[in-house]
Amino acid sequence: MQSFTRLVVLLALRQGCAYPQPFIAMSDSPNPPRSQSSEVASVAANPDRSQEMEFKLSDYQWQHRILLVFAPSPDSSQYRQQMQAWQTDAAGTGDRDLKLVQILGTGENQVDGRSINSASAERLRQQFGIPPEKFAVILIGKDGTEKQRSQTRVDLAMLFRTIDAMPMRQQEMRSLQ
């Protein structure tokens, strides 16, 4: 039944479904937790504003790691440097199932280049205690918990070492061999 549900969701997404459809969190872990916490994720299209999406971390749990980048504006030097670093290694971020979420005090909030609504951005700011005028980078693991936090730009090589040392990533690398 899970395979059928997954197939239906994937087909709907591939065909660009016009109505909001929640993503179903599937686990690649042998023993995923049974309960969904409020920090676990779901991304659904916002019917009122076709350009913006609602973003919830729980929609990505057990599927992706999330890099939250908070900045006052797109003109912030730390933000520009972090975005430059991100663009230099698309293969490395893809290999690690890493998604980028940009939360700006002023400017467009995005997840993987798609706009997210301001309510979602504010919820993330409150959840992680980051005021709009501050810069921060937070790594969220596939289990939905915070793994690393920095008030300065994060070097991707260091970030990759952190991820590669995680037990779930170690398991992923073994399964690729």
End-to-end Cα distance, the chain = 29
pLDDT recorded at residue 144: 95
| pTM for this entry | 0.71
The CA distance from 101 to 146, in Å, is: 14
Contacts (Cβ under 8 Å, ≥6 apart) of 152: 78, 135, 137
More confident residue, 132 or 20: 132
Contacts (Cβ under 8 Å, ≥6 apart) of 176: none
Quick one: fold of 64-176?
Glutaredoxin (3.40.30)
Q: Quick check: 3 pLDDT over 90?
A: no
Q: Are the C-beta atoms of residues 46 and 20 closer than 8 Å to each other?
A: yes
Q: Quick check: 47 pLDDT over 50?
A: no
Q: Quick check: 153 pLDDT over 60?
A: yes
Break the chain into its structural domains and give their ranges: 64-176
pLDDT tens figures, 84-130: 999 998 889 999 999 999 999 999 999 988 999 999 999 999 999 99
